[in-house]
Structures are given as structure tokens and as C-alpha cells.
Amino acid sequence: MRTVPKSGMRTRAPIPGRGACPHSMACQMYDLFTSREILNVWKENYCQDAYGDCARYRRACTGSFVPLTLLPNGRQLNVDERWLRKATA
């Protein structure tokens, strides 16, 4: 017998990589930005609903090293070398 929800609508299985990122509580990318506005752009485009598209997330899932300056779109954030040494010390 087929079960149909009372509302008559079909339930959907969650789409892998959609929804809130499971790494968001400890993601180092959040420490990169002093501007909340810029950080929020990344959060809205990746962390909150499309983490499966994030280069940081995908690298972490393969067990690869995730550089601090790797952005979700796969590009590297260009930062001052001295700042980077301090941030990773």
C-alpha cells in the first residue's frame, strides 16, 4: 500500500549539499573577514543553502588540507603574507 501524506503533497528527500553547512560551526573562513557584509555574501551563497558547491567543504570531505585563504568559489583570497603568518600561528 502506498502512503500519501494527508496534505496530498509528495514529500521530498533532502538534496545532498543543500541546506545549512555541517562545517559552519568551525569553518576558518569566518575568521578571514572583518566585514560582516562581505562574509554574509559568502554565507548566503554557500553556507546557508548550497554547501555542496563550496570548494572548502569539498576539499574537507576528501580529507585534503583546506588552505585558510581558499574561498568557497575555489579562488584564493589574496592576503598579505605577514597577516597570514599571524593568522595561522
Binding residues vs ligand SF4 (CB under 6 A) = 21, 23-24, 27, 29, 46-47, 51, 54, 56-57, 72
Question: Which amino acid type is present at position 24?
Answer: S
Q: For residues 44 and 64, what is the distance between their CA atoms, to the nearest angstrom?
A: 25
Q: For residues 36 and 56, what is the distance between their CA atoms, to the nearest angstrom?
A: 19
Nearer Cβ to ligand SF4 (4/77) = 77
In the complex, what is the shortest distance from the CB of residue 51 to ligand SF4, in angstroms, rounded to a whole number? 4
Report the chain's terminal Cα–Cα distance, integer Å. Answer: 61
In the complex, what is the shortest distance from the CB of residue 43 to ligand SF4, in angstroms, rounded to a whole number? 7
Nearer Cβ to ligand SF4 (53/84) = 53
Question: Which amino acid type is present at position 54?
Answer: C
In the complex, what is the shortest distance from the CB of residue 12 to ligand SF4, in angstroms, rounded to a whole number? 21
